[in-house]
Amino acid sequence: MRKRTTILSFLAAALLPGFLAAQLSYDLDIELHDDGRTIYGRSLVVSWVNTASTPTDELYWHVYNNAWSNKDTVFLTEGRYYGSTDLPRVKGSTNVFEASMLSTVDVDGNATASGEELTFEYVNDVDRTVGVVKLPVAIEPGGSVQVRLEFTSIMPQAFRRSGWGEGGYLHAVQWYPKLGVYEELDGKDQWNCEPYHYMSEFYADFADYNVELTLPERFRDHCVTTGTLKEITTPSQIDDKKVVYSSKAEDVHDFAFTVDAEALLLRRTFHEIDYRDDAEEMKISAALGKTPKEVRPQSCEMILLLQPEHAEYANRYFDATAKSLYYFGLWYGTYPYETISVVDPANNARQTGGMEYPRLFTGGARLGMADRTLSPQGVTVHEFGHQFWYGLVANDEFRHAWLDEGFNTFSTNRILDLAFNAPLDTYTLLGQQYYGRAPMTIPSYEEGDKRGMLGLQRWENAESKFFPALSYELRHNNSVQKFLSELPLTTYYPHVEGSASIGLRSSLLRDWGQPLAHPTYDLFDSGLRGVNAYRRPALTLETISRIVGEDVFIRLMHDYHTNFRFKHPLPQDFFDVVAKHAVDAGVDWDSFWKHAYYKNDELDYSAHFVLNAVNDDGTYHVEIGVRRRGAFVVPVDIEVTFEDGSVHHGVWDGVDSAKRIEIGDFAVKAVRVEVDPQRKLMLDRDWFNNSKLAEDVEGSDTAWHVSIRTMLWAQQVLHYFGGAG
């Protein structure tokens, strides 16, 4: 057997000058047992520097894997509240059975060896996803402590992001005790260490990881990790049934690994020259005042752990990852790590798909996917994007998930619009996707769709004077009915295309029940997380970009990302960056964020009327009426179009709920007024009411008037359904 590192060697290292070069480091010596699901942590040594302004004699730990230990954990209890009935088929748990303090270092750099045993206790004996260690001495600001844990983690069968699948697949995430963040929270220094909530993800400090990973021999060359992987097995160290890897990662805030004995391990190198977009490079370099060479991202090794039956998707995975490396690097600064690993989950472990970890993320694909469905390209771009937001700009996802998910949704959609062909509609026959769309379908169950009664699937009756409101499901739509409702023989094959960014407006069809400022983990409705964490903030960013202009927005976003890399920004940090760069946009940004973030105000401007009063000299005195139907106040552009095709432009401050505006005297009649004609305000809930035609255009202009009405109607329909579909 190979020589194990002893406590004495850790103590010796601790007493050497500069042993805590990083503010936080994890040294792990772990072994994955032959069962492929039990992880033995022989040693977890954590070196932590107190960077807060007050001392602490406690260390708080996340033990997320205990969320799967019983049905009454915080995660599973909250899941039932939100309507989920899912339970892990095979439970998971983490048991810490030894803890000790190795050393401390005071502010002056004086190190003291200890070796004192510590007690690892859980804040909640039922939940056990948060643990605490009481230290014998307080760690002053600038001081540090080094502690050692020994633990065993049993991973669950694939469930909610982590776990194993039949056939040798294991996606090991949140498998080890991980420190919370000691920082100012609610006006005082404290440990920010929430239990594993159903509605939130993860938050931790940046650290250096040095992991020695012993695996069963069958996983040799079938492993990817957060760090740079290197085999260190020698015959003198270990028997031939094991393989040992070293994995190192700097400036990351988590460590994940995936093994799969049956998967393909593929490698390619990303070179920016293979994906160069000259127009985008010129735009970015001009906005930032740099040369195109200065903004181009650096090379990186892409590693793909791919299910063998998905071999046809290898190029799609690599292409989407490379395009993400290129455009994210171009916009926000180059990806700073040596490798990026992509995991294609096993078919029986799909719940581990579509998730992000530093330097590693999971995608997801099924057999028979048509190329223009952007599968798995869409999920690949999105999960890679988290490397830049969750990974590099590590905000508190318990409370402010939108600073990650929303920014990433915005960035993802821009890449999908810029670098990929728009997806086409498809139907599925015998597991294979085909391009096309059914022009008519047999009515089936949709919430509030009264046609469902024709299929005897649901009874809907609105509240009346004599009867209460009724909504009763008569029977479920099964797979056969679903197939028959869209017969392949009746499909046609148009190119149904749409903008991913415009598609964000589908969230406007929902009730936005709570403001963005409400903590993500405490939202009252699980569906609201998709709005408040993803689409609503992405719409807000699109709105800001259109208000301030693309050049300003490029500088704004680049500034925010590069200045908060490897930090923990708060919402106010982003608000300050917007105010700094968009000072000339004519917007009161404090007021903007009051409406968009702190309150739950709706934005809805509408055109109300166009009047042409005849002057004595035969000219027309034009007045318009505009309305603000929501509480959200922001300046809005107004455009008045005349019979001769000329256009008058103006800006309304939007302060009054209704405004009558005199445009002036003109030789021809005004025929149309439009509020926000360039659709800058992506947050505007109703684009149907943005335009109004004058009612007094008659006579010889009737045909033209009808045509412009038709054009206006078509425009509004396209705007609406482009955002609602």
Q: Give the strand pairing for 300-306 and 339-343.
A: parallel
Which domain-ending residue is among 207, 228, 260? 260
Residues 477 and 612 in one domain: no
pLDDT at 463: 52
User: What pLDDT does 547 receive?
Assistant: 97
Task: Give, in order, the Cα–Cα distances in Å from 424 to each of 52, 323, 382, 430, 719.
Answer: 52, 20, 19, 19, 18
Domain contains 554: no
- Give the range of the structural domain holding residue 478, as residue numbers without chain letter: 443-485
C-beta atoms surrounding 586 within 10 Å: 12
Q: Is residue 253 part of a domain?
A: yes
* 644: CATH: 2.60.40
pLDDT of residue 13: 43
93 and 60 Cβ atoms separated by less than 8 Å: no
pLDDT digits (tens, 9 = 90+) for 500-520: 888 888 888 877 889 999 999
**pLDDT computed for residue 677 by the predictor:** 95
- Residue 645: band (very low, low, confident or very high) from pLDDT cuts 50, 70, 90: very high
Looking up residue 222, the CATH number of its domain turns out to be 2.60.40.1730
Task: Return the amino acid letter for 263.
Answer: A
Q: Is the pLDDT of residue 545 over 50?
A: yes
The pLDDT > 70 percentage for the chain reads 82
pLDDT, tens digit, 9 for 90 and up, residues 595-625: 999 999 999 999 999 999 999 999 999 999 9
* pLDDT for residue 512: 86
Whether 238 has a pLDDT exceeding 80, the answer reads: no
Asked if pLDDT for residue 18 goes beyond 60, the answer is: no
43 and 150 in contact (C-beta within 8 Å)?
A: yes
CA-to-CA separations, 69 to 90, 163, 201, in angstroms, rounded: 9, 13, 18
Residue 100 — pLDDT band, cuts 50, 70, 90? very high
For strands 242-252 and 207-216, give the pairing. antiparallel
Instruction: Tell me the mean pLDDT in the region 337-346.
Output: 97
Asked if residue 87 has pLDDT above 50, the reply is: yes
Q: Which of the four pLDDT bands, split at 50, 70 and 90, describes residue 468?
A: low
Q: Span 230-246, mean pLDDT?
A: 79
Q: What is the pLDDT of residue 474?
A: 45
What pLDDT, on the 0 to 100 scale, is given for residue 721?
A: 42
Based on C-alpha coordinates, what's the Rg of the chain? 29
What is the per-residue pLDDT for 510? 79
Question: Is residue 106 predicted with pLDDT exceeding 70?
Answer: yes
Q: What is the pLDDT of residues 360-387, one digit of tens each?
A: 999 999 888 877 788 999 999 999 999 9
The three-state DSSP-derived secondary structure of 4-26 is CCCHHHHHHHHHCCCCCCCCEEE
Answer whether 30's CB lies under 8 Å from 42's CB: yes
**Which tens digit of pLDDT belongs to each residue from 314-332?**
999 999 999 999 999 999 9
Res 236: pLDDT? 52
Q: What percent of the chain has pLDDT over 90?
A: 75
Residue 531 lies in a domain: no
Report in angstroms the alpha-carbon separations of 411 from 407, 557, 647: 6, 11, 34
Residue 588 domain-assigned? no
**Three-state secondary-structure class, residue 598:** helix
Measured torsion, CA atoms of residues 505, 506, 511, 517, in degrees rounded to the nearest 10: -50
Beta strand extents in 51-180 (DSSP E only): 56-62, 93-105, 111-117, 120-122, 130-139, 144-154, 163-165, 169-172, 178-179
Average pLDDT over every residue of 549-554? 97
Residue 99 Cα distances to 22, 96, 254, 333, angstroms: 22, 8, 21, 41
> What is the number of domains present in the chain?
3
Residue 669 lies in a domain: yes
Cβ atoms 129, 64 nearer than 8 A: yes
Which tens digit of pLDDT belongs to each residue from 145-202? 999 999 999 999 999 999 999 889 999 999 999 999 999 999 999 999 999 999 989 9
Which pLDDT band, with edges at 50, 70 and 90, does 458 fall under? very low
pLDDT score at 442: 41
CA nearest 552: which of 587, 504, 517? 587
Tell me the C-alpha distance between 380 and 425, whole Å.
20
Q: Tell whether omega for the bond before 376 is within 30 degrees of 0, i.e. cis.
A: yes
Quote the CA–CA distance of 366 and 349 in Å, as a whole number.
12
Pairing of strands 458-461, 470-473: antiparallel
Higher-pLDDT residue of 436 and 98 is 98
Q: Nearest 5°: phi and psi at 464? A: -135, -175
In a domain, 651, yes or no: yes
CB atoms closer than 10 angstroms to residue 341: 26
* Residue 99 predicted with pLDDT over 80: yes
Helix (H) or strand (E) holding 379: helix 377-385
Average predicted confidence (pLDDT) for the chain: 86
Mean pLDDT value of segment 213-235: 92
Q: In the predicted model, is pLDDT for residue 217 greater than 80?
A: yes
On whether residue 266 sits in a domain, the answer given is no
Half-sphere exposure of 529 (CA within 13 A, CB side): 21
What pLDDT shows up at residue 456? Answer: 43
CA distance 285 to 295: 6
Backbone angles phi and psi of 477, in degrees to 5: -80, 115
pLDDT number for residue 473: 45
The mean per-residue pLDDT over the stretch 252-258 comes to: 98
Give me the pLDDT at residue 72, please: 96
Polymer length in residues for the chain? 725
Q: Which amino acid is at 669?
A: K
Please check whether residue 208 lies inside any domain of the structure: yes
Q: Which of 456, 485, 514 is where one domain is finished?
A: 485
Domain boundary among 242, 260, 278: 260
Q: Which helix (H) or strand (E) holds 432?
A: strand 432-435
What b/e readout covers 343-356, taking b as 16+ CB neighbours within 10 angstroms?
bbbbbebebbbbbb
d(CA 111, CA 128): 33
Task: State the CB neighbour count (10 A cutoff) for residue 547.
Answer: 21
Asked if residue 495 has pLDDT above 90, the reply is no
